[in-house]
């Protein structure tokens, strides 16, 4: 029997991950990855059946946050402690520094375009400020915008014409026009919430934006115009991020800091990330 849409269920055992669980992303085989399994500084792998293990230990005191896969199947990580974007080879599990920028506060969440351009949010939690960075496929780092609120969740629309960035403390989601070379312009407020926080975000293939509501224990589904279409109630409260997976790309996985685990629910449309990686074809 197929589970109903938008009905969340617990997927992994509570507290198998630390309270720093974040950055979920699925590979082409359907394995789910998230940061800080068992202890800080790891990347955990969860099979489609929910079996968890340590995938890699990160080097030199690195602790990751956001994870994305590029079209080559390489894993990209925001290493916030060492101001890096790391890259992991899927065959050898070798970890290399894709980009390093010492003037970053702490690269937090990342989004990726089909061209391989990476966008990183960069909050300063103490000052309640933030920045946005662009990292080209050759590792060149450029500052796109400074003097924002606490930038956190970040995502590219399916047509790659819009970049979405949220501010956790200020509870804003901003939309920018996005050029083919990764320049942003025409900043506009998509939506502002009156309570609770914001964290990770993902788009589905139809352009709907899913965002975590940290502290509320829900995922909100927004139209490209910023209208609330659906709000999904979770079992945990402090949802940090989400991604799409499953054989059809229509399973949403959510990381929960207060539970140290992952929940999942079904939706009608596959995630943009699954289409980008060539796992799901949308006609």
Which residues does the annotation mark as catalytic? Answer: 199
User: To which residue do tokens 């025409």 refer?
Assistant: 186
Inter-residue contact 212 to 199 (CB < 8 Å) = yes
Sequence-distant (≥ 6) Cβ neighbours of residue 243 within 8 angstroms = 24, 25, 26, 32, 202, 252, 253, 271, 273
Contact 217, 233 (CB under 8 A): yes
Torsion sign, CA atoms 248, 162, 75, 216: negative
- The DSSP code for 216 is T
What token pair was written down for 157? 């629309």
Q: How far apart are CA 210 and CA 197, in angstroms?
A: 14
């Amino acid at each position: 029997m197929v589970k109903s849409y938008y009905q969340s269920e617990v997927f992994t055992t509570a507290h198998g991950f630390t309270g720093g669980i974040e950055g979920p992303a699925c590979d082409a085989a359907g394995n789910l990855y998230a940061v800080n399994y068992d202890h800080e500084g790891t990347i955990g792998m969860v099979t489609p059946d929910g079996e968890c293990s340590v995938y890699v230990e990160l080097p030199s005191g690195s602790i990751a946050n956001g994870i994305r896969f590029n079209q080559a199947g390489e894993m990209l990580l925001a290493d916030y402690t060492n101001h890096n974007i790391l890259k992991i080879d899927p065959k050898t599990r070798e970890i290399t520094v894709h980009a390093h920028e010492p003037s970053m506060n702490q690269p937090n969440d990342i989004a990726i375009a089909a061209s391989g351009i990476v966008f990183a949010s960069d909050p300063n939690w103490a000052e309640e400020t933030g920045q946005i960075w662009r990292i080209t496929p050759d590792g060149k780092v450029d500052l796109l915008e400074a003097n924002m609120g606490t930038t956190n969740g970040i995502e590219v629309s399916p047509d790659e014409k819009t970049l979405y960035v949220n501010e956790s403390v200020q509870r804003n989601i901003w939309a920018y026009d996005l050029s083919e070379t990764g320049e942003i312009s025409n900043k506009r407020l998509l939506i502002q919430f009156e309570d609770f926080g914001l964290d990770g975000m993902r788009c589905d293939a139809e352009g709907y934006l899913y965002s975590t509501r940290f502290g509320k224990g829900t995922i909100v589904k927004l139209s490209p115009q910023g209208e609330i279409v659906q709000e999904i109630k979770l079992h945990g409260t402090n949802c940090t991020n989400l991604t799409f997976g499953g054989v059809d790309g229509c399973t949403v996985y959510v990381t929960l800091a207060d539970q140290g685990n992952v929940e999942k629910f079904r939706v009608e449309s596959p995630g943009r990330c699954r289409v980008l990686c060539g796992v799901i074809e949308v006609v």
